[in-house]
Every structure is written in C-alpha cells, then in structure tokens.
A and B are shown apart, each in its own frame.
Chain A
Amino acid sequence: MRNAMKWLPPVAFLAAAAGAFVLTPYQATIAVYVMTFAIVCVGLVVMTGVAGMVSLGQAAFVGVGAYVTAWLTTTYGISPWIGLLAALAASGLIAMLIGSITVRMSGHYLALATLCFCISLYYMIGNTEALGRFNGITGIPGLSIAGWDLKGERSSYLVALVILATCMWWVRRILDSRVGRVLRSLRSGSAIAETFGANSVRYRLLAFVIAAILAALSGWLYAHVQRFVNPTPFGIHMSIEYLFMTVIGGSGQVLGALLGSALVVVVKQELQDILRPIFGTTTRLEMLFFASAMLLVLWRARSGLLPLLLSFVPLPNKSRQVMAADPAHLRPREKAGALVLEAKGMRRTFGGLVAVDDVSIEVRASEVLGLLGPNGAGKSTLFNLLSGTLPRTSGQLTFQGRSLQDIDPRQMCRQGLARTFQHVKLVSTMSVIENVALGATHLGKAGIVRASFGMDAAEERMLMGWAMKQLERVGLASLAHSPAGSLALGHQRLVEIARALAADPILLLLDEPAAGLRAGEKAELATLLDTLRDEGLAILLVEHDMDLISRVADRLMVMNFGRRIACGHPAEVVGNRQVQEAYLGADAA
C-alpha cells in the first residue's frame, strides 16, 4: 500500500498529460486556465494555509510577472525564458519590499496592504503609456524550446501541466524540510519558532516571497499563452478569487490549490451558461453563488473541501521508519555544580503593577531547582524574563559566565536555554516527531535551496533521528507519527519536554510539566528528570505537584506577590513561616 502511494503522483501526472490528446480544444483551454490559476493558489497555500498570512494582492504579483515579460519580449525582442527570470526577480524584489514592511504586523494589515498594492498597481499599469494603458500589450511571442513551437491548446496544456506539477512537487518538498516545519509552525503564532531559534519574521517573509514568485510564474505563463495582456485580470477581484479558490479547495494542502481552482473555474463557467440566458449577458449573479459557497465553507468546513473529501478515502499512515541518531556536534556539558544561570535583582513592571520585584535566582548544572508560589506570584513572568520572551525592567542576567543585556528567545535558545509552555504550544496538524524536530531547528543548516534540490537528506535523517531519540527518552516513540493534536494533554506536555530536549539545552525551563499526567506517568517523569540531572542538565521546574517537586528538587525557591520569600533545601523551605503563610494563611502558621 505504501509503495502504491509512492507511485500515485507520477501516475496522476502521466494520466493528466494524456489528457492533452483526449480533451477537446475548448476543454483544454479551460484546463489551462485552471492550471494557471492553480499555480497562484499553490503559492497561497504556502502563505495562507501554512504560514497563516492572508494576501489580497496575489493578482498584482501575477500582473508583475505578466507585464515584465510582456514588456521585455515585445519592446526588446528578448527570449521569453529570459523574460521568465526577469519576472520572477521583479516579483521577488517587490514582495521583499512590501513584505519587510508588513509581515511583522498582525494578519489583517498584511491583507489590506496587499489589497492596496493591488489597486495601485492596477491603476498604475492602466495609466502608463509604455504598457499600453488599459488597452494592454499585444503581440507577445509564444513559447518555444530549441526551435520547438509550443503554441496551440495542446502544447499550452502540456506546458502548464509541467509547470504546475513542478511547483506542487517543489512546495511539498519544501514543506517537508527543516524550513518547512518552521513555516508550518507559524500558523499557530510565532512563539514556537522564536523559542527554538528561528526568526519568525524572516520565515514569514520567505512564505510571502515564495507566494509572490509562484504568482509571477503564473503571470508569465498567462502572458505567453494568451499572447496578450491588459490590466483587467490583475485587479482586486481576481485577487479575491485566488484567495477564495485556495480556501474553498483546502488551504492546508498543495492539492487543495488544484481542487479549488478547478472547482471555481468550472462551476463559474457552468453557472454563467445557465444564468446568462435567464438574466441577460451582463449578470454577475454567479458571484452571489460564489460568495454564499465561500461563507458555507467558512462556516462548516474551514479547512476546505479537500480534507472533507479525503476523510472518505482510507489513506495509509505515512509512517517512515526513523532510526535514533545524534547530531555531529552537541554542546559540551557543564561540570556538576557549575553556575549556569545567575539573575540578580530581576524586576518587571506592567504599568503600576510590579509582577516580579527584585528577584535573584541561580541555577547550577546537575541540579533541579523547584519554583513554587501561589497563582499570580510572578513565576511565569520570571520564566518569561529568563527566556527573553519579555524584556526585564531592570536586573542583571548572566548565562554560563556571559553577561547578557537585551535578550530575545532566539538568542537564549542558541545560548543553550530551552523551555516548555504552561499552555501547551504544539502544531496540532504536524506529527509528534515533526514537532519534536522543530526543537532541533537551530542544529540544522539546510536552507530552502538545499531542500529544493534534495541536498538536505543526510541532515534530515540526523534531525529526525535526534528527534526520535528524544521521544524514546520521554517514552512516546510509539506515537511518533500520530498528529500531535490527537494526543492526550499529559502526553502533549511530554512532547513539549522532548522538543525542548531536542534543542540540546544546558538549562531546561519546565512550566508545570506534570499537570494532566496520571500517577504512573508522574513517576516516569520524575525518573526522567533524575536522568537528565545526572547527565549534567540544569533544570528550573515550576510545579504545583508537591509530591513530584519534593521528590526531584534539590533546592526550592518560593515566590509570592512578585518577591522571592524563601530559597534553600526543600525541608527548610517547607518549614518556613512566610511560606506557610503564603499557602495556608497567616493563622495557620
């Protein structure tokens, strides 16, 4: 069965190619439209479905591609293939410019910025003499390879098919790589990427540029197939249609792009054939249908129609055998008792509220420091100050003897700090092992170019093997290929620990790891923490479970109202008067 799945894409490709000789010229023309649009939608899958950013300006990038090649080939008579390079470069540059301004902002700003770009470009082209104003450019040369003419419906069909298939293959390949895993984590926010050393803004920009380049590729194809361009197909309404095609088809998967564009193009065509005789040739009532369909999808099947269809098809679990492996370079461990993290006078205020007030803390190698405190005592804020998620108002921070000024989570990850989150942050649609491999992001080097050409295979084997090893340590190896979202909450916390371990940390910050675990699992967690300490890790553990904390903690620190009220050997601390007051009230003590 698995082998059968492997052969499915090439077989589907050949079957589609055979279509060139079966379809009528009219059907072939429609199919070329579908495939041209699908290329844009594949880009939107990367940007919207995977990285969670909405663009309302994809048609503008299609227009950039089409007009760059149209202008170059008609004015200077250069080859369409050089026009292709120019088109891709131009759209990439524009996307970088717009993206560097907008990708760091929240979603609807990007959507509106791209929308405005689309409108500006439309009027810009329509008013520029050299681009033929609203009349457009005619006489664009068709495509040819080595003297072989590629005009006509059938050749266009084949060219479009080859380009689309390449794009789909390429995008799937990227999404399955180290870079792709980070991209896929962005949809649930940038916290995961940043915590494990990846610059989320750069990755967002990457997704935006990929989408723009694919759009320009589609525009180039459009220009040389139609051999005529005007501004109309690059306006805002087409941008909206691209987005709708992608969302309707299923923005999470590459195949959804093709399904969406095919459905929309074909249904629209059929509807027009029905509606025009009834309501006259100018009617646009098919758009009403389209809008209602869109609302229904948002309402009932937000991840699109493809997942809905696939849920009826029994698909084999794509579980690849992964052998545990180690990276070539791991951080040297500190000697037992060496000072790993030292924070003095940490303070953080939110307006008038002092959340963390002059707290000092030191964590040593081969030590578990338990951090206790009632709710609202400032434990999580302290965690965030140490991991760089929040900037501190004042205080000094030293990590392995290096003094650190302004820190961010990425930098702390590279320094050797890894953490789990109190509210579990996993990418629920990714498999458990892929989630763990996200932790090792900074241990790999392969970028998008190496991933495109399959030159990252050895590194991927290493990263996945390393991730597998961490899963074995937390006892979840058997669940490696399940979607992370399908696990029980307690197991999800263990996956978070495995992911933090995959970052090869010196200091591990655990935020309530035992919440949601059963008694047996807690015992296993305690054993795991013992092992990690013996290996030389420094561990800071926030936990409410007294059994666990008294079993594993070497020292205890207690916070209340943002202050450190006690620190020392567990037995002493538990007997401390202030601590008893904090937990049981003044009278009890």
Chain B
Amino acid sequence: MTVDIGAILFQDGLANGSVYILMAVALVLVFTVSRIVFVPQGDLVAFSTLTLAAFEGGTLPGTVWMLLGLSAIATTFDVLRAISTGDWSVLPRDLAEDLAVPVALALVAMFGTPEGSPIFWKMAVTVALTTCLAPLLFRVAFQPIAGASPLVLLIAAIAVHLGLTSLGLHVFGAEGVRTTGFSGPPFTLGNIVFTQQSIGVIAISFLLVLALYLFFARTLRGKALLAAAYNRRGAEILGISPVRAGRTAFILAGFIGAVAGLLIGPMTTLSYDSGFLLGLKGFVGAIVGGLSIYPVAAAGAVLVGLIESFASFWASAYRDVIVFTLIIPVLFWRSLQTPHVDEEDE
C-alpha cells in the first residue's frame, strides 16, 4: 500500500466515520434522555436520502404518505387519551404538533416543491419531512410505554425498525439511489486530493457534535433533558416532563438523521433497508463511549469508519465481519471497567 492509497483510504474512512459520528451522537442523545436504544436511527438516514432522491427525480417522495399515516395514528392516540383521561387541556398543543405540523409539511412537499425548485429548498423540505417522522414515532410507539425498562424499550425500537423497513419497501421500492447533492471540483493539498464532499461531511459532523455538547453542558434546557433521563420521577416533581424531554430528544435525533442522509447520499448508494447497518456501525462507536460520552462516542465512530475503510482494502469481503467482531473486544474492555452492573426489570 502506497502513501497515496493510504491517504485516500484515510479520507474515505474519515468521511464515513463522520456519518457514523452523527449516528453515534444521535443514539447517545436519545439513550441518555429516554433510555431507548433507537434502532431505527439508520432508517431515518436512508429515508432522508430516498426522499431527496425522489425530489431530484421530480416525484413525490413516499415519506409524505408515511408522515400522514403516522400523524393520523398519533392524532387518534391524542384524542383517545383526552377522552379516556378527561383532560382536554393539552389536546390543542398535541393536535398542533401531531396533526397540523405534519399536514402542513406534507402540503409543502406536495405543492410547494416543484421539480425546478432550487436544490437547497429540496434539501430543506427533505430535512423537515424526515425530522418530523421521529417525534411521531415517539408518540405512537414509545410514549405509551415510556416508563418501561431499557430492554422493553429496545424490543419496541426493533419493532419500529421492522415496521419502518416494511413500509419503506412499500413506499420507496427496492432500488438503491444516490443523490447529486452538493459537490464541487476536488482540490489538492500536497499530493493528496480532497473532495469537497468529504470535507463538507467531516466539517458538518464535527460542528453538530460541538453544538450538542454545548447544548447539554451549557444550557438549562439541555440539563433538564439529562435530568429527565437520570431520574424520571424526580424530574417530574421539578416540573420537567419526561415525555416532553423524550420528544425533544427524538426531534433532535430525527434532525441529525435527516442531515446525515443528505451528507451520505452522494457518497453511497442507499436503499430502503440500508439504514440498519449504518445505524449499527454508529452503535459500535456509541458503545465505545458507553452510550454516554459524546466526544468518546464520536472518536469510536471515526475509528469504525477508518477500520472499515482499511478493511475494505485488504479483505473487502470480510469488511462487515471485522467491524462487527470489533465490538466483542470493546465490550470485554468495558466489562472490565464496570465489573458490577445490576439491572432491575419492571
């Protein structure tokens, strides 16, 4: 292997790793706030790419129907809840969030995004549509069991993933897509060629990680989110609603997933079911950070990207084997650090 090839692999790994960083950070975010291991995170990425691809191709993305369907279910839940508890005070807000916003976005996608509109408008609509899926998923699948143990929530998350892939195949079809996205002429630094794409991906990822870190470390709202995760009952007494906190976390995760979809779209071919492996690789990174520390989780994700990139050079068929076997020694190392964990169920 020459230095040139090494540099290309490194750049590739870093760019892929940056997408995994986004996955890892979103997973850590959702997990710390709601104790949910958000398996469908990767699906949102794939859906974001597929949505943009549909706009670029001049068709209406299936995301719209998914959004409307989820909105209908969420609205039904909201109304049923109001009827069964007799508490109508929060219904207007619920309806605004679960019905008005999704419907408005769907209308924008249907009538406000013609084929000739600028790429940045299409990207914005894509991000809005995909982001909006996440809180609706939270409302429909997780809010009814919000207090359950992490294991129950994990099973629910897997169910959501299954449901989403099944729907994804239905609305997007089985073909893989690649988006044009943003691109420009590559430039050289020394002997090494850099593509604007990979530099953009890396920069945006690091900015997002920094922003989240500051959000949780410096703002009251961020700290309130963490408090809700740490002690549900206690946070509730202090006026922090764990449900609102969970919802906020999901909106952020949805946004991160949507952005990741835009970033990865021009680099890799994605289809309705590509998200799962993507999310899992973010997981391996997140687990290195113990599902809690942002910078470490990000470093783990970069490592996964680099290992994958170099592994595909030496043993491309075994690329995924290497990446996913990597988690076993990582877990072993972590198990030595936390010798005693006691988890109570229900």
Query: B341–A106 contact, CB under 8 A?
Result: yes
B78 shortest CB reach to chain A, Å? 16
Residue of A nearest to B340 (CB): A104
With A115-B280, A127-B321, A189-B342 given, is the CB distance from A109 to B331 under 8 Å? yes
A282 to B169, CA, bound (A): 9
Number of interface residues of A (CB under 8 A): 50
Query: A240–B158 contact, CB under 8 A?
Result: yes
A282 to B280, CA, bound (A): 25
Tell me which of B96-104, B114-122, B147-155, B210-218 binds A.
B147-155
Interface residues of B in 120-176 (CB under 8 A from A): 141, 144-145, 148-152, 154-156, 158-160, 162-163, 165-167, 169-170, 174
Query: A102–B331 contact, CB under 8 A?
Result: yes
Of the residues A101, A120, A187, A285, contact of B335 by C-beta under 8 Å: A101
Query: A120–B324 contact, CB under 8 A?
Result: yes
Query: B156–A123 contact, CB under 8 A?
Result: no
Query: A112–B343 contact, CB under 8 A?
Result: no
A377 to B332, CA, bound (A): 38
Query: A291–B162 contact, CB under 8 A?
Result: yes
The reply on A295 being an interface residue by CB < 8 A is: yes
The reply on A284 being an interface residue by CB < 8 A is: yes
Query: A187–B331 contact, CB under 8 A?
Result: no
A324 shortest CB reach to chain B, Å? 33
Provide the main secondary structure of the chain B interface.
helix
Query: A104–B339 contact, CB under 8 A?
Result: yes
The reply on B37 being an interface residue by CB < 8 A is: yes
The reply on A276 being an interface residue by CB < 8 A is: no
With A123-B318, A298-B145, A299-B144 given, is the CB distance from A287 to B162 under 8 Å? yes
A124 to B339, CA, bound (A): 31
The reply on B284 being an interface residue by CB < 8 A is: yes
A123 to B319, CA, bound (A): 9
A299 to B277, CA, bound (A): 27
Residue of A nearest to B167 (CB): A288
With A120-B324, A188-B344 given, is the CB distance from A284 to B169 under 8 Å? yes
The reply on B325 being an interface residue by CB < 8 A is: yes
Chain A residues, Cβ within 8 Å of B321: 120, 123-124, 127
The reply on A292 being an interface residue by CB < 8 A is: yes
Of the residues B141, B158, B345, contact of A188 by C-beta under 8 Å: B345
The reply on A107 being an interface residue by CB < 8 A is: yes
With A123-B321, A240-B158, A284-B166 given, is the CB distance from A98 to B151 under 8 Å? no
Query: A101–B332 contact, CB under 8 A?
Result: yes
Chain A residues, Cβ within 8 Å of B287: 109, 112
A295 to B340, CA, bound (A): 31
A283 to B171, CA, bound (A): 10
A190 to B344, CA, bound (A): 8
B57 shortest CB reach to chain A, Å? 20
Query: A54–B151 contact, CB under 8 A?
Result: yes
Chain A residues, Cβ within 8 Å of B318: 123-124, 127
A107 to B37, CA, bound (A): 11
Chain B residues, Cβ within 8 Å of A109: 287, 331, 334
A466 to B331, CA, bound (A): 42
Provide the main secondary structure of the chain A interface.
helix
Query: A108–B154 contact, CB under 8 A?
Result: yes
Query: B345–A52 contact, CB under 8 A?
Result: yes
Query: A243–B155 contact, CB under 8 A?
Result: yes
Interface residues of B in 298-346 (CB under 8 A from A): 317-318, 320-321, 324-325, 327-328, 331-332, 334-335, 338-346
Of the residues A119, A120, A298, contact of B159 by C-beta under 8 Å: A298
The reply on B283 being an interface residue by CB < 8 A is: yes
Residue of A nearest to B163 (CB): A291
With A98-B328, A101-B335 given, is the CB distance from A283 to B162 under 8 Å? no
A452 shortest CB reach to chain B, Å? 27
With A113-B331, A127-B317, A290-B162 given, is the CB distance from A108 to B341 under 8 Å? no
A115 to B332, CA, bound (A): 15
The reply on A533 being an interface residue by CB < 8 A is: no
A156 to B144, CA, bound (A): 43
Residue of B nearest to A113 (CB): B331
Query: A54–B154 contact, CB under 8 A?
Result: yes
A39 to B120, CA, bound (A): 54
Chain A residues, Cβ within 8 Å of B317: 123, 127
B333 shortest CB reach to chain A, Å? 9
With A104-B341, A106-B341, A189-B342 given, is the CB distance from A298 to B155 under 8 Å? yes
The reply on A163 being an interface residue by CB < 8 A is: no
With A120-B324, A282-B169 given, is the CB distance from A108 to B151 under 8 Å? yes
With A279-B170, A292-B163 given, is the CB distance from A298 to B335 under 8 Å? no
A291 to B166, CA, bound (A): 9
Query: A283–B169 contact, CB under 8 A?
Result: yes
The reply on A173 being an interface residue by CB < 8 A is: no
The reply on A244 being an interface residue by CB < 8 A is: yes
With A104-B339, A279-B170, A284-B166 given, is the CB distance from A295 to B156 under 8 Å? yes
Chain A residues, Cβ within 8 Å of B280: 115-116, 119
Chain A residues, Cβ within 8 Å of B174: 282
The reply on A40 being an interface residue by CB < 8 A is: no
A279 to B277, CA, bound (A): 27
Query: B156–A107 contact, CB under 8 A?
Result: no
Query: B339–A298 contact, CB under 8 A?
Result: no
Query: A116–B152 contact, CB under 8 A?
Result: no
A32 shortest CB reach to chain B, Å? 25
16 new A-B contacts at CB < 8 Å, known A111-B154, A299-B144: A98-B328, A105-B334, A106-B343, A107-B150, A107-B151, A112-B327, A115-B280, A117-B324, A127-B317, A189-B342, A191-B342, A282-B174, A284-B170, A291-B163, A298-B148, A298-B156
25 pairs, A vs B, C-beta closer than 8 Å: A52-B151, A52-B345, A101-B328, A102-B335, A105-B334, A106-B343, A107-B149, A108-B37, A108-B151, A112-B327, A120-B320, A120-B321, A120-B324, A123-B317, A123-B320, A188-B344, A190-B342, A191-B342, A243-B155, A285-B170, A287-B162, A287-B163, A290-B162, A291-B163, A298-B155
